[in-house]
Amino acid sequence: MIQAIKTRILSGGDITEAEALALLTHPNKEELYQAAHEITEHFMGKAFDTCSIINAKSGNCPEDCKWCAQSGHYATGAERYALVSPAECVAQATYNHKQGIGRFSLVASGRRQTDKEIDLMSISYRAIKRANPSLKCCASLGLLTEPQLKKLFDSGVTTYHCNMETSPSYFQELCSTHTQEDKEATLEAARRVGMRICCGGIIGMGETKEQRIELAFYLKSLHSYSIPINILQPIPGTPLGDTTPISDEEILSTIAVFRLVNPRAFLRFSGGRARLTPEIQRKAIYIGINSTITGDLLTTIGRQAEEDMQMIQACGKENVAQDWEISYDY
């Protein structure tokens, strides 16, 4: 079964949802992992994309996402502060770029940023690009309007990130203050102004295996070619704070199946990676992970860039800021 599906995908065909679900629970894990590895190598080669972020505004978010430390609905002890200065953004971006990281993103809490905040962040982005012309800029700032997105694009932002978080059938159980349709509208607006998109989700939030597969195909339907795969890191004080972590095998199997469903995507290590041992992280890269957020990840602890660069090289990958969808000279 695995070999037949692999051959079909390598020939340009697709896997079905029923097949993906069967593979997620297939007993021969190593055969599944090897198939995903071969598909990754065939479609994506050795390329490995790196990005870094700065938490540009933290805490007191009005949204009620049940997993998130930044929600003002829950007592998590997350740090709260307003927008960081352009100088701080430039310093962090420059530091990361010197370590070989190809992309840099401002990430801010809140449903949407105000026009004044977008004006200030545009100043930061222009300053970042002046200091680091070859650094590719991204943004993750909530449900922005099209004029706000256009202002960011004109300031040098070429990728917009907005996760769908989970499957359509499960999302309303985890968040009631906005919808996935709101997120889709934001991504569509980002594409209209000229940006590429980055869109993934979180696994281990209590979703069923069927819903995990549903998410993989949902992201495929959105034509997302940069897919952050977050692993829930339960935050005390949130409704998911006592969630039992999923096993390493579940994580690796999910990565493998996501690769089979999305053979041409950058599958991106994101939040929660720190819980994995170096051995499991290397295994995940072998299977299908070919991009990562490196450095500090919002309110949780990530891996240092230097260690990540060593791991990428040891896994036989090449750290390149390779674009998807569309490329720009700025």
First to last CA, the chain: 45
Q: Write out the two tokens for 127.
A: 């300053």
Summarize pLDDT for 24-60 with one digit per residue, the tens. 999 999 999 999 999 999 999 999 999 999 999 998 8
Residue 287 pLDDT more than 90?
A: yes
In contact, 182 and 165? CB cutoff 8 Å: no
**pTM attached to this predicted model:** 0.95
Strands 47-57 and 103-108: parallel
Q: What is the pLDDT of residues 212-268, one digit of tens each?
A: 999 999 999 999 999 999 999 999 999 999 999 999 999 999 999 999 999 999 999
Tokens of 226: 């940069």
- Nearest Cα neighbor of 285 from 264, 267, 303, 302 is 267
Contacts of 307 (CB under 8 A, 6+ apart): none
Token pair for 13: 């065909």
pLDDT for res 32: 98
Of 115-119, 169-173, 251-255, 293-297, the poorest mean pLDDT is in: 293-297
State pLDDT tens for residues 82-127. 999 999 999 999 989 988 999 999 999 999 999 999 999 999 999 9
Segment holding 293, helix H or strand E = strand 289-293
Superfamily (CATH) of domain 2-319: Aldolase class I (3.20.20.70)
| 209-221 vs 17-24: helix crossing angle, rounded to 10 | 140
Predicted local distance difference test score (pLDDT) of residue 330: 62
User: What length is written for the chain?
Assistant: 330
CA–CA distance, 47 with 49 (Å, rounded to integer): 7
